[in-house]
Amino acid sequence: MATRDALYLRLKDGEILRWLGSPDKWERIGNDGRIISMAPDGNALYLLFNDGEVLRWLGSPDKWERIGNDGRIVSMAANGNALYLLLKDGEVLHWRGSPDNWQRIGNDGRIVSMAAGGNALYLLFNDGEVLRWLGSPDSWERIGNDGRIVSIAGNGNAPNLLFRDGEVLRWRGNPDNWQRIGNDGRIISMAADGNALYLLFNDGEVLRWLGSPDSWERIGNDSRIVSMAAAGNALYLLFNNGEVLRWLDSPDKWERIGNDGRIAFMAAASGLQAPDVAPFPFQPYRFVINSVDVLTQKADHDHSDSAWLTFCITAHDPTVKGDVPVHTTMVHLGGEMRTGDHLVGDFRSDFFTAKDTDVVSVSYVVVNLGSSDEEDQFAQAVKLTNKIVDDWAPIVGAAVGLIVGDPAAGIEFAGKITDGFDKVIKIAGDAFDFLGIHFGPANCNGEVLHDTIVFQPGELSQAVDKSQTRSYTGSQGNDRCGAPPEYRIDFSVQHFPHGVLQGPNNTSGLKES
C-alpha cells in the first residue's frame, strides 16, 4: 500500500486496525484500552496512552516500541518522519529517533495546539499567535496573530487557518502574509495534507479547495459524517454509524471501505486535522434538553396551541478583548400541549465551539405562541428570537468588558448575564403586540419560563454527559389561563472532540450577533 494511503482506525475497545487498500480489508495491528490518540506519518504510527506512554509501530501486528512516557502529554503531531509532543505546562518536545531521546524545542503555557506539515511545525497560542519552528531549540518565528482563529491545519509547508466566523486563510510564506481563500460560517473542520485542503460543513457538505481564492468544489454531502482524514490527495470520511468512505476523485463518488460501529476515531498518513492528533483549541459542544415535563400548562382550555424554545449561547475567553457572537437556535417543543405531558425530542442547540478556558453562557426561553398554523408559528418564533438577539448582544458585550484580563471576575460576569437576560425577556414580552404575536384580547400566549446557566472556565467540560434537572414556575397574569405554568426540564451538555455527528437544527431566518 502506498504511503499516502495509510489509514488507521482506533476502535472503542482499544483495537487498532490498518487499511490494506481494498474494501473491507483491514489488519489488526494492536490492542490496548489505554490508547487515547494516534499520530501517523506515512508508514509510521505513534500511539499515546492515557498514562503518558508513547509507542511506535514497528510494521508488524502487535510489534510496538516504547519511545517515551510522560503523564503531562496533551497531544502529538507527526510529519516528515518527525514526532512532536505538547505537554500540559507548554513544553514542546521533538523525538530524536531512539527510545526516551527527546529534545525540548520550546515552552509557552499559552500553546493550545500544534500542526505539522511537510517538515514544518506550527503552534497556535490562546491569544491567536501562530509560530513556526525554525529547526533548533527555542528558535521560533511569529507568522500570524488573530484572536478569531479556531484551528490550524498543516498543508505541505503552508498552514491553513480557520476563523470563528468561517474565514479560511492560507499562509503565503512570510510573517503576517496570509491569503483569504474562503469564508462560510457553516465550516466546522478542515483536513489537509500535501497540497490538498478539504472543509466539512455543519450540514454535512464536503468541499475541496481548487487552489485559488474562493474556488471550491463540492465533492460530497451527508449529515452522518463524524470526521475527515486526509492523506496526500486521498480523503476519508467516518460516519456516525461506523461506515468509512474513501473519495474517488470525482464529486459524489465515494467507495465504502469499512463499517464498524465500534470505531472511535481514525487517522491518515499525516492526519493533521484529525482532533485525535492535534486537538482543536475550540471543541464542538451542544446543549441538550433531554426531556420536558409539563406539570401545569399555560393554556386557556386544556392545551396551548404551540410552545417554542429559543437558545442564546455565548463563549468568550476572559483574557481576550473582542466581540462575542450570540449563537441562537430555535426549537419547536410541540403543539396541543397539555398538563401531564412528558416531552422527549430533538430539543438541542446548534453546535457551538468553546475552549476549556472560556466562560460559556447558555440562556433559553420557552414561549407559547398563538397561531395553530405551523408556518405562522415559525414566523412568530423567528420574530421573537431576532428581537431577543437585538437586545441581548449589547448586554453581553458590556458584561464581557468586566472580565477582560481578569478571569476571577467570572462570577460578576455570570450575575450580569443572568440579570441581563431577565431584562431582555421582559422587553420581548412587552413587545409581543408590536411583534404581532398577540392575536386576541384574552389569550394565554407569552413566556412560560426562562433561565441562564453560566459555565466558568473548566466547568463546561466537567458538565459533559451529566444530566441535571431544574423546575420552573412561571407567571400567570390572566385568570382564564388557570394556574401559573410549571415545567421540569432535564438537560445536559454534549461534547464532540472527534467532530460532530450531524447538522444543526433548522435556524433559517434567525440572526446571529
Q: Is residue 396 part of a domain?
A: yes
Q: Can you give the pLDDT at residue 244?
A: 97
- Residue 500: which pLDDT band, with cuts at 50, 70 and 90? very low
Reading the block at residue 199, the C-alpha cell is 472543509
Which three cell numbers, joined as nine digits, stand for 394? 449589547
pLDDT score of 509 more than 60:
no
Do residues 218 and 310 both lie within one domain? no
pLDDT for res 156? 65
195-244 residue pLDDT tens: 789 999 999 999 999 989 999 999 999 999 999 998 877 899 999 999 99
- Phi-psi label, residue 52: left if phi above 0, alpha if psi -120 to 50, beta otherwise: left
Q: Let me know whether 184 and 291 are in one domain.
A: no
pLDDT for the residue 408: 52
User: Do 212 and 135 belong together in one domain?
Assistant: yes
Distance, CA of 170 to CA of 412 (rounded, Å)? 39
Question: What CATH number does residue 219 fall under?
Answer: 2.130.10.30
Cell numbers for 339: 398538563
Place of cell 423567528: 382
pLDDT-based confidence at 279, cuts 50/70/90?
very low
Question: Is there a single domain that holds both residue 207 and residue 289?
Answer: no
The rounded distance, in Å, linking the Cα atoms of 352 and 451 is 19
- Give me the pLDDT at residue 355, please: 72
Asked whether residue 299 falls in the same domain as residue 417, the answer is yes
Is 420 a residue whose pLDDT tops 60?
yes
Sheet with 149-153, strands from edge to edge, namely 149-153, 160-163, 167-171, 178-183
Whole-number pLDDT of residue 464: 83
Q: Which of 212, 244, 268 is the last residue of a domain?
A: 268
CA distance 328 to 330: 7
Quick check: is 13 in a domain?
Answer: no
Tell me which residue of 209, 202, 207 sits closest to 224, measured CA to CA: 202
pLDDT tens digit sequence for 68-79? 999 999 999 988
Percent of the chain predicted with pLDDT > 70 = 69
Mean pLDDT of 138-155: 91
Q: Is residue 36 part of a domain?
A: no
Q: How confident is the model at residue 512, as a pLDDT? A: 35
The residue among 343 and 325 whose pLDDT is bigger is 343
Q: How many CB atoms are located within 10 Å of the residue 480 CB?
A: 10
AA identity, residue 339: T
C-alpha angle 435-441-447 in degrees, rounded to nearest 5: 55
Span 248-273, average pLDDT:
84
Does 366 share its domain with 238?
no
pLDDT at residue 143, rounded to an integer: 94
Listed range (194-198, 236-240, 266-270, 272-276) with the worst mean pLDDT: 272-276
The residue type found at 87 is L
Q: Can you give the pLDDT at residue 288? A: 87
Structural contact between residues 350 and 330, judged by C-beta atoms closer than 8 angstroms: no
Q: Which residue has the higher pLDDT, 270 or 444?
A: 444
Half-sphere exposure at residue 301, Cβ-oriented, CA atoms within 13 angstroms: 5
Q: Of 168, 170, 124, whose CA–CA distance to 147 is shortest?
A: 124
Position 274 scores a pLDDT of 36
**Residue 458 near residue 360 (C-beta atoms within 8 A):** no
CATH number reported for the structural domain that contains residue 310 in this entry: 2.60.40.150
* Same-domain status, 180 and 263: yes
Domain membership of residue 502 (yes or no) is no
Query: Could you tell me if residue 233 is inside a domain?
Result: yes
327 vs 347 pLDDT, higher one: 347
The residue ranking higher by pLDDT, 428 or 16, is 16
Q: Which range among 395-409, 422-436, 444-458 has the greatest average pLDDT? A: 444-458
**One-letter amino acid of 181:** I
Are both 260 and 340 inside the same structural domain? no
Say whether both 204 and 310 belong to one domain: no
Structural domain of 349: 283-495
Query: Which comes out higher in pLDDT, residue 155 or 62?
Result: 62
Higher-confidence position of 342 and 104: 104
pLDDT band at 27 (very low <50, low <70, confident <90, very high): very high
Count: domains in the chain: 2
Mean confidence (pLDDT) of the chain: 78
Which three cell numbers, joined as nine digits, stand for 137?
531549540
Let me know: does 229 contact 278? Beta carbons within 8 Å.
no
pLDDT of residue 373 exceeding 80, the answer is no
Domain check: are 199 and 304 in the same one? no
Distances in Å between the Cα of 371 and the Cα atoms of 34, 156, 292, 377, 462 are 55, 56, 22, 6, 41
Which range, 96-110, 344-358, 479-493, has the best average confidence (pLDDT)?
96-110
Verify that 205 and 287 share a domain, yes or no: no
60 burial via Cβ count (<10 Å: 0-12, 13-18, 19+): exposed
Is there a domain that residue 209 lies in?
Answer: yes
Is 60 exceeded by the pLDDT of residue 194?
yes
Grid coordinates given for 61: 501486528
Inter-axis angle of helices 410-430 and 374-400, to 10 degrees?
140
Residue 55 lies in a domain: no
Task: Match 499515546 to its residue by C-alpha cell.
Answer: 48
pLDDT in tens, 289-330: 888 888 877 665 555 556 778 887 887 766 655 556 667 777
421 pLDDT above the threshold of 90? no
**Are residues 330 and 423 both part of a single domain?**
yes
Provide mean pLDDT across the span 256-270: 89
Lowest mean pLDDT among 136-140, 403-407, 434-438, 494-498: 434-438
Residue 302 CA, chain-centre distance (Å), reads: 41
In a domain, 64, yes or no: no
Residue with cell 433559553: 364
At 390, the pLDDT band (50, 70, 90 cuts) reads low
Q: Which of 210, 226, 204 lies closest to 170 in space, CA to CA?
A: 210
